[in-house]
Structure formats: C-alpha cells, structure tokens
Structure 1
Amino acid sequence: MRKRFSEVSWQGKSQGNTYAEVIPTNHIITAAEEHAAPQSAGWEAARAPHTGAEDARLASLRHCSLHVVLQNIMAAGFKTAEPLEYHRSFLKENCRPDGRELGEFRPTTLNISSISTADGSALVKIGNTTVICGIKAELTMPPSDAPNKGYIVPNVDLPPLCSSRFRPGPPGEQAQAASQFIADVIQSSDLINMEELCIEKSKLCWVLYCDIMCLDYDGNLLDACMIVLLAALRNARLPEATINKETDLAEVDIQKKRHLKINRHPVGSSFAVFDDSIIIVDPTAEEESLSTALLTVVTDEEDRLCAVHKPGGTSLSGEKLQHCINRAITRNKEISKLVDKVIESMKTAK
C-alpha cells in the first residue's frame, strides 16, 4: 500500500510523454499515487539506488555545491575580519559588494499621503533606508525678528527600531546634525516663501512641524530626509485662517484648503570617499563607516548649488568636488521627475 523513499527524482517515458518529479524526503506514497504514476522503466529506476554514471553526476554536484558553500564562508569570514580590504577588492574592479557601479544610486521609491491624520506626509525608500515624514500645521504668533513670516521646524528622529546603533533617549548627535542640516537647507534654498505662512503681521502665522522618522537605517540618511520633506511639503494642504475683527480671535475654515507654494526643489546627493581618491555615491551604512570622508551636495531644479555639507574627513580637490556637483545636478532631475510622477498619479486617482 505505502512505501517510504528518500528524496529521489524519476524520469521516464510513457505513451510518448516525458515525466519528471521530485519526491520529498520521507514522503509516504499512497496507493493512489503509485497507481497514478507512470509504470515505466524510469519509474522503476527511481525506486532503486542510483548507480554508475548517475552516481558520478550526483557526486560531482555535491562537490560543486560544497565548493560554493566553502567560498561563501571564506568570503563572509574575509568581510568580517577585514571589511575595508573586502570593499577595496570590489572598488578596484569599479564595482561594489551590492553589485552597483561607483556612481550608481540604489532604487528609490516614494509614497505620499502616507499618514491620514497629518496635513501632509510622505514615505521614501532608498535601498533599505526608509524614512517617513508627517507635517502638522499649527497657528502661532510670528517671531519678533520676522513679524511678517511663518516658519518651519524640522526634526529628525533616529529611534532604536531603525538600527541597533541607535539607543533610546534624547536625540543623538547624528539626529541633531540631520535636523540642523535640513533647517539650513530650507533657509538657504528658498524652498518656501515664509511670508505666505503669515496670516496677519505680528499677530498670526502658520508654523509647520515637519517630523521625520527613520524606520530602517542603511546609510545616506540626509538624501532620504530631503526627498521625503520635499514630497511631504508638496502634499501638504492648509485650511483657510483669518482673524475675526470683532473678537480678535483666529477662525479656521477646514472646508477650504490650499496647497503650499513651493518655490524651489532642493535635492541632496551624498558621496563617500575611499582612500582619499575613490568617490562613490549613495553609500550604505557600512560604506559610510569605512570611508575617509562624507559629502552631501544639495542642488535645485535650476542647477543652483544650495548647500554643501562635509562633516570633517579628508580634503577634496576642486576637480572632484565639481564632479560631485555635476552628479548632484543629474540626481536632482531624476528625483524631481519621480516626485512629479507620484503627485500626478495621486491627482489622477482622485
């Protein structure tokens, strides 16, 4: 009735057809299965042990598989023991361990309106690095030094859930540096006309709290933060707000909402320097830790240079810096096209 076999394959011809199947290890063949299977010489051979040429072929396959496994183990050991030399062995061939070329960015994906309770939101993935941004608009008094302007408050959060390198508690140095970088770019790039956020001079204005959280960290945080902020701001809508002349209180009409007017589209492009000479784009977390310098270049859609961020490390020649700027200009066009496409698809869906 039932027969137990180890994992084998059978091949044979019956009535002009060729059959091939793998029987799992310890599979119990029922009488129905035995009756349904083609009763051919190939089927009978599957019941018997492999001999001769078949044994030699299987032995060769096992040897090749073992060789591949040993190579993988040796490569993993080399990567763990000498990570820098491991990366250098790839860089010498003008490629990287993940298969990319030196000037190739990881796949970038974008989703907007990711948070239904926010006034504007977006989610961006660059490779494994994933960040989400939610914008919350609140009414407040304008700052005393700019009574006719509103303002934007960016905040970057790197929680422990995104990487084991981050710990619970107050914002670390990297998170604070990222928040300050975003704030500087907003100011230097003329991203938004802050006067449009003012409702009445010295009395009422909008403040936009842009909370950016990293969900998965694998390097190139600043690029992801810039893209997700730009997409979230373009997705944001503010209700109509006025001041009642009789009561001198703010009144908000949530039925009337408007999009923000975005003046510029700044996009960051990050680079890592190896051995003071080799420059790669979009570094992973491991590549960042092994590099001798990091550089982020921000340009807008008109090819203007908005910001250059270089937190220490080795110096760069003018020629190499210009190379990075040129690549950043190309990257801006790619990201601007992606953002436009996603926003247009949202309009079409509505």
Structure 2
Amino acid sequence: MNVYSTSSDNDRNTSITPSRLIPPEILHQIFSLLPIRVIRCCALVSRSWNSSAIPYLYQNIVLRTHTQLAFLNRTFASPNAPHLGEQVRSLALLVSPPLLPDWKSHAWDRDREIPPFSPHADENYPEINTGCKETEWLETHVTDADLRSILIRCPNLGAIHLNGCSQLTDTTLVTLADSCRQGVLHTIHIALLRTVTDPSIVHLVQRHGPHLRNVDLSLCTSLTPASVALLARATGPRLTHLRLNSIASLTDDSIGAVAEWCPNIRLLHLVRCWKVTDGPMTAIAQRCRRLRYLSVAFATNVTEEGLTALVNQCAELAWLDITACGVRLFFKEAVLRRWTQVRTQTGRGEMAVVDRKVLLV
C-alpha cells in the first residue's frame, strides 16, 4: 500500500512508503516492546527501519553452537558492519540444543532464549552438567582467539556468560577487562575455567571491581583465597550474587571477607568448599541480612551451629542446600523441625531446605 501526495509545483504524484512516515524515535519506542522474531522481520522493511532495529537485534546475544559463534565472528569482521559490536550489552555461550528432545520437551526456539542474567531467568540456576553431550562444544571448540575477535569490538558489554568454556585462559579475561569501558561490566560467569589464575582476576577487579554485581567463579580451581578476598573488598556492597563452588582452597578468611565487605549479598554458593567452617556462617548471619539463597552442599565442616545462626537471623533466606554438609545425621530431623518452628514463630515464611540423598560408590 502506498500513500500519495500531490505536488503543487509539478502536479505529479509522488509515492511515499508508510515506513518513512514514522520518526526514528517512535520506531525505537515500538521496537523496545517487540519480541526479537518480530524485530528481525521489521529490519527487512527498509534501510531506515534496519538502522533502528539493529541495536535491538544485537543487544543480547545468545550462542548455542560453534557455527553460530563463527558466524558472529564473520559478521563483526565484515567491513560493512564496523560498529555492530558497540550495540552488544550481553553475551552468553550456552549448551547446545537437545540433540534428541524427549516427548515432554518442545523443539528449540531461538526466539525464546533467556540469557542466564536476564530478569526473567532463574537467578539460582544449578551447576553446569559437564557429563552431557550438549556441553561438548563449549569444552572443546571455544578458544581464546574466538572470544578475542568478539570482545575487542564490544566496549559496552555489561554481562558475559562463559560457563563450561574450559579451554579459555587468562588471555580472555585480560581482553575482557581491557575491552570493556569502565563502569559498564557488571556480570561475569566463568565457571569451569580451570586455568584462570589470580593475576587475571586481579586485573579484572582493578578495572571493573566497584561495578561487579554478579560473579560465578565455580570450578576455577587455580584461584587462591587471596583473589576471592580481593574481589570481595573491591566489589563491596554492590556484589549480590557470588558462586565459588569447588574452589577447595578457600578458607574461612576469604569467606569472612565476603561477610565483611558484601552486606547486600543475595546468593552465595559454597559447594564442596571443604575448608570453610561455621565461623564465616556466623559472620554472614550477622552482616548479610539480605541473603536469600545459600548452598553449603558437601561443605563437611559447616555444621548445624553455623546454619542455625543463618536461619535465625537472615529473614529473607528462602533456599538452603545442606546436602552432605556437616550437619550431624543423628540430629538432622530435630534441627530441621526447629528451623521450621523458628521461621513460623517469627513470621518469616517458608524456607526450602534441599537435602539430596548421596549414593556412595
């Protein structure tokens, strides 16, 4: 359909497409309310619509295969798209779609992808399962060179999710720290990057520490307690989510630093942190009153004494994982009943306690 206007000068009919009648600022308002699959179609209408749609198409990137990663690299390297990287606000590399979906699941729909740091995502997401086939591309195909060519073009990156990319090294973290503008980066998930060491974490913290809010360092087994304590001091009250699963070297001092410097911590995972005892738990109970999710699974030196202090003093605590921790089996049922009574009497609502059975082979 065309809209025609009559020129008073030459009395000719001039064709004006409807897409040119909408001001760019109105288009931006409209696109901000549309799903990605609709914006993708709108980008094909005209050049003006394409320029307005591009920031929304590249704002939150989710990659699930190495083919998608390679295509993004080629797109960013194209001379026709020199500034696409500046539109990126978040980047997530996730496990590939199910190879054989079961009868309960639906086919993979990329338009319904939810990045792990999205407001609609589960903030208490579980650990990555490296035993499934879908994680293979993350473990074997993602390299420092792949990420570098993307990161150097994304100065406005605010959140990045690289869990499971075990081939990445300190080089990627240094590139990330140097490429992002200060004050922009707030979320970094790098679980299973076993070769990442203290110097790269220190460099990252020095540049972006005061602005970090969500950090996942699970299975970064080369890190020392000193780097975790430095992270806690640098982030301070801004830090709300911290995962330190399977960093066996962590001590009471490093977790005590989290309690001292991060009073607004909302989620804390300490799975398999065997050296941590009740001392930091008591400090967290006294200082971190906004704690909502806590996991001390397999932390065998954390007992009912420290956990009871948390249950009694953290009013917002809603989820607690005590699987195979140091709570004595003989008293466990009585302890759980007591926790329920305390929460009921104080009007603090229900608290989900996870205590999975462990099969010892």
Q: What TM-score comes out, normalization by structure 1 length? A: 0.23
Q: What TM-score comes out, normalization by structure 2 length? A: 0.22
**Structure with larger Rg:** 1
Q: Specify which structure has the bigger relative contact order, considering alpha-carbon pairs within 8 angstroms and separated by 6 or more residues.
A: 1
